[in-house]
Amino acid sequence: MLLYFFGILKAADSVIVNNLQRIDKVQEPVRAAGDDIELYVAPADEIEAQYVAGMVANLIESGVEPQEIAVLSRTSFQFPLLDRNFTRLGIPHVVVGYTGLLGRAIVKDILAYLRFAVNPEDVTALERALTAERGNGIGKKTVEKIVRLAGGGPFDRALRAICDGDIEAVPKFRLTPKVRASLEKFLKLINVIKTLPPSDAVSMVVDSVKLKVEL
């Protein structure tokens, strides 16, 4: 479905006028009116992306340079759909502000658990995994002290020894009951992950850990 508005300011006014708490005002353009705004209501996300890509292709075919065209998206989940349809039509494009799936914080958190399960000497994975869960009482300083106390990998064995009290604590560092319980939970999860295929391991982390960044 296509709808048309006369200019961007009038289109904006038609939306904000419904806000009863707004201060009444009239926006007047200082330049000549441009092209009318076209609103397309798509029945599905994929169809919307196909429509946008088709519009861009038509503009380029009419002589508009690709670098003169911008597609703005309110949410990042629309980027992959647009990217796929631009690629399908051979439209040159650059995506700005979207890191991709592997760049998302939650994906990095989940991968940290898997990386540590595979390589218990990966201190970077250990630090990220231990601080990824909400409310576990483990912060950056606690992790630094644990790493110092462990004295090097493999850290899963060192954590086990720390929880069991087999390693003398560094000065002024004691495990609180909450931190000890969190470390015990972490070690149990890592041991389970080691026995699972990757897809099941990911599901186990998502189901077992209250990640700070949610899906």
Q: Where are the alpha helices (DSSP H) in 73-176?
A: 78-88, 105-118, 123-130, 140-150, 155-164
Q: Is 86 exposed, middle or buried (0-12, 13-18, 19+ CB in 10 A)?
A: buried
| CA nearest neighbour of 61 among 94, 96, 93, 89 | 89
pLDDT in tens, 9-52: 777 777 788 887 777 777 777 777 777 778 888 899 899 999 99
Q: Is the dihedral of CA 109, 114, 116, 122 positive or negative?
A: negative
Residue type at position 200: D
pLDDT in tens, 81-133: 888 899 999 998 888 776 666 777 888 899 999 999 999 888 899 999 999 88
pLDDT in tens, 132-150: 888 888 888 888 877 877 7
Q: What is the H or E stretch that residue 5 is in? A: strand 2-5
pLDDT at position 170 over 50: no
Across residues 175-204, what is the average pLDDT?
90
Q: How confident is the model at residue 153 (pLDDT cuts 50, 70, 90)?
A: low
- Domains located in the chain, CATH noted: 2-88 (3.40.50.300), 105-208 (1.10.486.10)
Q: What's residue 189's pLDDT?
A: 94
| CA nearest neighbour of 158 among 137, 194, 135, 130 | 130
pLDDT at position 172 over 60: no
Q: What's residue 13's pLDDT?
A: 78
Q: What's residue 212's pLDDT?
A: 63
Q: What's residue 168's pLDDT?
A: 52
Q: How confident is the model at residue 75 (pLDDT cuts 50, 70, 90)?
A: confident
Lowest mean pLDDT among 122-131, 179-188, 204-213: 204-213
Q: For residue 157, what are its two tokens? A: 């064995």
Query: Residue 7 in contact with residue 36, Cβ under 8 Å?
Result: yes
Sequence-distant (≥ 6) Cβ neighbours of residue 7 within 8 angstroms: 29, 33, 34, 36, 37
Query: Residue 76 in contact with residue 82, Cβ under 8 Å?
Result: no
Q: What is the H or E stretch that residue 3 is in? A: strand 2-5
Question: Is the peptide bond between 80 and the residue preceding it cis, with omega within 30 degrees of 0?
Answer: no
Backbone angles phi, psi at 211, to 5 degrees: -65, 145
